Amino acid sequence: MKQSITINDVAKLAGVSRATAGRVVGNYGNVSEKSRLRVQAAIKELNYSPNTIAQSLRNNTTKTIAVILGNVKNNYCNALVYAVEKEAQKEGYSVIICNTRENIQREIMHIQNMRNRHVDGIILMSAFTTDEQIRDEEKELYESNYPMVFVDRKIHGLKRDVIMSNNVEASYEATSHLLKLGHKNIGIIATADYSTIRERIRGYEKALNEYGISMNEELIAETTALDPDEARMVTGKLLDEHPEITAIYILNNSLSAGVLLELKKRNLRVRDDISLLVWDDEMLNQLFDLTTVVQSIDNIGKVACNRLFELMQGKAEAREGYTERIPAQIVYRNSCKNINVIDN
Amino acid sequence: MKQSITINDVAKLAGVSRATAGRVVGNYGNVSEKSRLRVQAAIKELNYSPNTIAQSLRNNTTKTIAVILGNVKNNYCNALVYAVEKEAQKEGYSVIICNTRENIQREIMHIQNMRNRHVDGIILMSAFTTDEQIRDEEKELYESNYPMVFVDRKIHGLKRDVIMSNNVEASYEATSHLLKLGHKNIGIIATADYSTIRERIRGYEKALNEYGISMNEELIAETTALDPDEARMVTGKLLDEHPEITAIYILNNSLSAGVLLELKKRNLRVRDDISLLVWDDEMLNQLFDLTTVVQSIDNIGKVACNRLFELMQGKAEAREGYTERIPAQIVYRNSCKNINVIDN
DNA sequence: CTGAAAGCGCTAACAT
DNA sequence: ATGTTAGCGCTTTCAG
């Protein structure tokens, strides 16, 4: 890369000092009309634009935020990145993306790295599950006042800003829908042990209880990862062991494909043979007419980003530890059958 | 954000000069064992790590690359980002992501911005279509020797490194498959006018010609964007106007959902009523048993990234204008029917 | 209204 | 082996 043009070059060409040139570029202070024009001409002639690195060092702000998440190939994640980047762009911020692949050590490394790079803030979808502890040496990374907003998942015992869906309520509502239709044995397919999933299960349990049903842990089948193949296997096992199941409730995106494949293999028709209710809207859902809990990822990203901006500007310390719930919508399609006995 | 710890703090605590502390941190030059230990202790005590911004300014390298693309929500794009980030991470590089939303002005703005940020290199999936011209003022952005690798799409008349699938050959092979099965009227659904699509159509034409069929432009239905709804509409129109079509060949991902929806609406069964052949593997494809041209996006990302590293190190100028073709694989499933007349 | 000069944190050539 | 010092490009205080 050849040498870039600096403000010195501009100043020299315009016949003014570096300071005056800087005033024109940065548009502050007082500059005579004559100087301004000369500098502007020089800028144009040299095609100058400021070196952001130098500005960062000087101003102590990088105009950059980081999004640290499991895997951009996941649809929740890439929708989040899209929303954040769009919002950030409006304010002139760029977005660095880091995949943890759900590995905590990698997550820690990324946070460390982003701090060394002095990004102005971090949006984090943490890989910590509910039963894992943060080691003392790393606690500072999560607890310092470095601007950071959690998204989708919270870490147990950590007072931090979190933006996420109203999981309990939406899951309560979704489960109630199935219960109203007469389903009593509702199987669950989900990834193990993220706070998000725990909340959704809480909503499920609450709805069951209201119908006088106590939750049966055996109907909850967990996968270790967001992997369709594993989802498929787990679904098979669940159906084998619990033939009484009339509905399957899937708590993560990327899992429904596996479930559908298993149903296809067994020649079970969605709705007629088994009801399906699913979190997150994918291409599949419309095609299979799946009733779906749709998270407003766009909003989550936007709110997270703006909240982060507040933290960055020091406007928001009072709200530390705040959780913002973005409502998820249930889109009723046609995958849940009414199995109430018409008794008269 | 509170003041960070600098190398001066380390030096002071260790009782040595900044230079010596720097030698320990950067692991170069000669330092006595005693000093080394004192400095290392100070680093640990203060939890020091170097300010990457300052290093960047000094070393003229940011350890950052940018990926500029249409939209991370697109599966090709996010798989590319994933692959690039993984490869970059190995070498200690971070990845900035920029969505152009297929808008050329935004693309230009991003390139400009990434240059001002002095990223070490750019991977670009350009929004330029084959018939658009780069304006003279912006030509420099695309033609300078700033390290840049194109992915998936090339810009007409620009000698630049491009990494992409062997579109012509793979499309030729895919079309031949349909022809062998007896299909003569093969409709195409594709986004208009990207170089990639042009190439795939060239492969299609070549195969047709070998079978003594000349290409009928009317069977090629184009969408303006990667949008399932538009794909659906366009499919309907195509089927209405050309009932003679026995197979549909879809040249982009994100389009097949729309086609499938339209087929569903018309009660046309995949394979039995109409054959389908599709580019890019999505969740849908396995479920619908779609025969698919699978691009090796992982490889494309990896190769693009490594090629970029070569350019960054100045190792590769001789190969300027080189196009690397990554072979796509055809996964034969069961969506193409044999309609040859068995005549005996 | 303008310019000189200091300093952000780091590296490295040079001198000791 | 170690310290001094200059300088990366920019901003901004202070003097004039």
Q: Is residue A280 within 8 Å of residue A253, measured between CB atoms?
A: yes
Q: Which residues in chain B are contacts of A57 at CB distance < 8 A?
A: 51, 53-54, 57
pLDDT band at B268 (very low <50, low <70, confident <90, very high): very high
Interface of A with B in 270-299 (CB under 8 A): 282-284, 286-287
- Phi then psi for residue B180, to 5 deg, are -60, -35
pTM of the model: 0.95
What per-residue confidence (pLDDT) applies to A23? 93
A221-236: average pLDDT = 94
Chain B interface includes A85 (CB < 8 A) = yes
Interface of A with B in 170-229 (CB under 8 A): 228
**Residue type at B124 in one-letter notation:** L
Which tokens sit at B84? 């690039």
Strand C bases within 7 angstroms of protein beta carbons: 1-5, 7-13
Enumerate the β-bridge partners of residue A150.
A124, A162
pLDDT > 70 fraction of chain B, expressed in percent and rounded: 97
What per-residue confidence (pLDDT) applies to B2? 52
Q: Which helix (H) or strand (E) holds A106?
A: helix A104-116
Q: What is the pLDDT of residues B228-240, one digit of tens each?
A: 899 999 999 999 9
**CA–CA dist B120, A173 (Å, integer):** 50
**Residue type at A104 in one-letter notation:** I
Q: What is the pLDDT of residues B151-204, one digit of tens each?
A: 999 988 888 899 999 999 999 999 999 999 999 999 999 998 899 999 999 999
Q: Is A1 a residue whose pLDDT tops 50? A: no
Q: Is residue A242 within 8 Å of residue A187, measured between CB atoms?
A: yes
pLDDT band at A30 (very low <50, low <70, confident <90, very high): confident
Question: Alpha helices, DSSP H only, in A212-328?
Answer: 228-241, 256-265, 283-287, 297-312
**Residue A193 to chain B, least CA–CA distance (Å):** 25
Chain A interface includes B96 (CB < 8 A) = yes
pLDDT band at B3 (very low <50, low <70, confident <90, very high): low
Q: What is the pLDDT of residues B195-211, one digit of tens each?
A: 999 999 999 999 999 99
What per-residue confidence (pLDDT) applies to A344? 56
Q: What is the pLDDT of residues A189-227, one digit of tens each?
A: 999 889 999 999 999 999 999 999 999 999 999 999 888
A262-275: average pLDDT = 97
CA of residue A308 to C1' of nucleotide C10, angstroms: 29
B266-304: b (≥16 Cβ within 10 Å) or e: eeeebbeebbbbbbbbbbbbbbbebbbbbbbbbebbbbb
- Of B94, B151, B91, B305, residue with least CA distance to A99: B94
Q: What is the pLDDT of residues B9-50, one digit of tens each?
A: 999 999 999 999 999 998 888 899 999 999 999 999 999 999
**Cβ of residue A59 lies below 7 Å from strand D:** yes
A119: helix, strand or coil: coil
A74-81: average pLDDT = 97
Q: What is the pLDDT of residues A85-135, one digit of tens each?
A: 999 999 999 999 999 999 999 999 999 999 999 999 999 999 998 888 889
Sign of CA dihedral A149, A152, A153, A159: positive
Q: Which residue reads 């659906």 in tokens?
A: B232
What per-residue confidence (pLDDT) applies to A343? 60
pLDDT band at B1 (very low <50, low <70, confident <90, very high): very low
Q: How far is CA A330 from CA A171, A251, A280, in A?
A: 9, 13, 10
**CA–CA dist A259, B286 (Å, integer):** 12
Q: Give the other-Cβ count within 10 Å of A198's Cβ.
A: 18
Q: Which residues contact A333 (CB under 8 A, 6 or more apart)?
A: A285, A286, A289, A290, A291, A292
Sign of CA dihedral A68, A73, A74, A75: positive
- Helix B7-14 and helix B18-26: axis angle, to 10°? 110
Residue in A closest to B263 by C-alpha: A287
Q: Is A273 a residue whose pLDDT tops 90? A: yes
Enumerate the β-bridge partners of residue A146.
none
Q: What is the pLDDT of residues A288-333, one digit of tens each?
A: 999 999 999 999 999 999 999 999 998 876 566 789 999 999 999 9
pLDDT: which is higher, A266 or A342: A266
A8-12, A229-233, A303-307, B315-319, range with the lowest pLDDT: B315-319
What per-residue confidence (pLDDT) applies to A270? 97
Q: Is B255 a residue whose pLDDT tops 90? A: yes
Chain B interface includes A55 (CB < 8 A) = no
Nucleotide nearest to B6 (CA to C1'): C9
Q: Is A46 a residue whose pLDDT tops 60? A: yes
What per-residue confidence (pLDDT) applies to A319? 65
B139-153: average pLDDT = 93
**CA–CA dist B337, B344 (Å, integer):** 20
Question: Alpha helices, DSSP H only, in chain B?
Answer: 7-14, 18-26, 33-46, 52-59, 75-90, 104-116, 136-143, 167-180, 195-210, 228-241, 256-265, 283-287, 297-312
Q: Is B316 a residue whose pLDDT tops 80? A: no
Interface of A with B in 109-138 (CB under 8 A): 112-118
Q: Taking all residues of chain B, what is their mean pLDDT, rounded to a whole number?
A: 94
Q: Which helix (H) or strand (E) holds A52?
A: helix A52-59
Contact A96 B98 (CB under 8 A): no
